[in-house]
Amino acid sequence: MSALPTSQAGETLCRRPLLHALPAQPGLVLAVLFIAVVAVATIWPGLIAGADPIAADPLQAQLPPSWQYWFGTDHLGRDVFSRVVHGARYSNLIGVSAVAFAATIGSVLGLLAGLARGLVDEIITRFLDVVSAFPDLLLALVLISFTGPGTTNLIFALGVAFVPRFARVVRAQTFVIARSGYVEQARTFGLSRTVLVMRHVLPHAVAQVPILATIGLGTAIIGAAGLSFLGMGPQPPAPEWGSMLAEGRNYLRVAWWIGVWPGLAITLTVIAISVVGRRWQAAFEGRRSA
């Protein structure tokens, strides 16, 4: 009965949940700042690290961290700091592209299945079941064994493995929304099926996709680094975090800095993205239940 107390104060808070919550949550602030730094490194790595990440200098090999080489140098005398900064591009772009690929294909499949129902729905759902029956990385490995290693192939392989999580959510949402009162009402206006879907079904059905994508991005980056570690991604001398980790592994006892810095970069990036993604999801769910 008393709608009064919750409405005004509650809704303004909900409208921009992420921004409002920032001052109260130092962890979230740190995560956002770190993602900003990683983003800069992805777009203009030269802004942070000036040294050439590929130029080798055997005379300067395996130097420990110092004022000149912040993260030290690797077995070929390359600047590890510069390599880590420039490497952000590979790992993150592979992760982002794979997730974008999966989100697009997944949304289309989910929407199709949700709208068509019947046989089409059955076929799509069984396909998703088969794909998600395999662990993500294993499936990606199998796909790469067909296509061969390389950046594009890695994106495709990871993307396919991530399709089901998007398709399932979009399909379920489409089911609900296609039966909602406002879609029925819009039908009575004489709008065509295409207009109905584009206007009233699609925007609601994909509302959660950005959140899912953010959460999935962390997993995708780990996947990209992991497959590169196995040599399935960008080929040397590209400074990819996973392959740097693989190279550094052999020198851990004599030069820990070669492997530890790229490993830290992967870990912190994934944690930061997960923190933001989870917080966003919580805010979204709070807004829907309010």
Partner 1 sequence: MTTLVDIRNLTIAFPNRLQDNRVVHGIDLTIHEGETVALVGESGSGKSVTARTLIGLSGAVVGASRFEIAGDDVLGFRERDWRRLRGTKIGFVLQDALVSLDPLRRVSQQLADAFGHPGYFVRRDVREDSRALLRSVGIPDPERRLLQYPHQLSGGLRQRALIATAIARQPSLLIADEPTTALDATVQKQILDLLAERKQAGHTLLLISHDLAVVARLADRVLVMKHGQIVEEGPTKQILSKPAHPYTRQLLDAVPSAASRGFRLSPATDQAALPTEAVERRLPLPPKRIDAAQTVLSASGLMKRYGGGAAVVNNVSFDLAAGEALGIVGESGSGKTTVAKIVLGLVEPDSGTVLVDGQPWSHRSEAERQSRRASMQLIAQDALSSFDPRYTVEKIVGESLDTVGVFGSERRRRVIQVLDGVRLGASFLDRYPRELSGGQRQRVAIGRAFAPRPKLLIADEPVSALDVSVQAQVLDLLAELQAASGTALLFISHDLGVIHHLTDRVLVMKDGRVVETGAVETVFAAPKHSYTRALLDAVPALP
Residues that bind partner 1 (CB under 8 A): 1-5, 9, 11, 180-182, 184-193, 195, 199-200, 203-204
E strands, 40-176, are none
Quick one: 10 or 135, whose CB is closer to partner 1? 10
Quick one: 86 or 200, whose CB is closer to partner 1? 200
E strands, the chain, are none
- Give the Cβ contact number of residue 20 at 10 Å: 13
Quick one: 23 or 148, whose CB is closer to partner 1? 23
SS (H, E, C) 138-184: HHHHHHHHHHCCCHHHHHHHHHHHHHHHHHHHHHHHHHHHHCCHHHH
- Whole-number minimum distance, CB 101 to partner 1, in Å? 27
In degrees rounded to 5, what are phi and psi of residue 73? -125, 160
- Whole-number minimum distance, CB 193 to partner 1, in Å? 8
Q: Are 170 and 111 in contact (CB under 8 A)?
A: yes
Alpha carbon distance 103, 168 (integer Å): 11
- Whole-number minimum distance, CB 170 to partner 1, in Å? 17
- Whole-number minimum distance, CB 122 to partner 1, in Å? 20
Quick one: 1 or 59, whose CB is closer to partner 1? 1
Q: What six digits make up the tokens of 11?
A: 């809704």
- Whole-number minimum distance, CB 204 to partner 1, in Å? 8
Quick one: 67 or 189, whose CB is closer to partner 1? 189
